[in-house]
A and B are shown apart, each in its own frame.
Chain A
């Protein structure tokens, strides 16, 4: 996937910072188009709040690691670049872990082991390797913001649908009347696969329609 993105970037003469931002949000959305980072997407999207928190945590790590990788890109030798990127990513994941604990113990309890697992989210490493290590800080920031917000958007799409159908609520506020029978399967792992499949179907439907036009 990452090679496709680099080629795409190279094909255009000089993509503006706004282009870098928009591409992550929609055209190259990390979840719906590139299908990256599926572990947290499926596991922590059982409620809208968890999905948003996870998405923001990942976006923060992506942004900070992109900034650091871009600013150190001439200093890191090629041979140790992956090890250096992982070290940088792991540092920001640890920082996010402490920050979430300091914000809310309950939220930390809900996200559990998935915060630490941001380290192995292929989205972050792929942006560091494919983009930040080859571009300047400004563009890397725009790329990280676009990709990060695209990830937050995708997780929220999943989390909102799963919480609405599985619990009858949105952000813990009751949406459906009391007689609504919750679809418990939607907040179980299987519900994550169903919801993701439906969103991918919708995205591909729009993409094929656009291609026909």
Chain B
């Protein structure tokens, strides 16, 4: 019982604010360490690909960012749904805090994909199902940020944003399964939960380390961002005015 109580305690922005700072600091440290290891492995340890040569190394950025772009969206939609149902202020703030990171991850995935596509496929961009649905995901992120920013009343802004996020969830399975459901120029999944992976072990290890690095980075920046959002939205409360970093 007390465990439950102490967990729910953190749904209060005042209680979560210091915890977010601690999580952010630890995640940032983890991100830096994993990124250093992951990039070293990507460039110097992982072998050359038999067909693509060195150009394939872009997957160590491309795949983690593409995974994160989808995963962050699901997490945002989860928080938005919780905020909509339970009217918890912090949930909506979490959704808002994750949005720019998700948009950046989507952009990186599209951008690195174009860089890889030009030499390998022979085209920067094609309108196949995978690429198009990922572009729609980018527009969903941008749309969410714009919609939330355009409404002054935060409660209404949160609600409108949450509805947009939840409707957009349809797009995530479409992105993920597009290469399976339709003929696409984009290749099928190299790493899958059900079928394992079809790449050499050292490449896979480097890619997974990069994925965890991106994960830790996303957690870190989301935590710092949610602290700013908390301060902004709660600026008229007593606990904020009593914070040492605010009082000064």
Q: Do A and B bind each other?
A: no
Q: Hey, which bits of chain A sit against chain B, CB under 8 A?
A: none
Q: Hey, which bits of chain B sit against chain A, CB under 8 A?
A: none
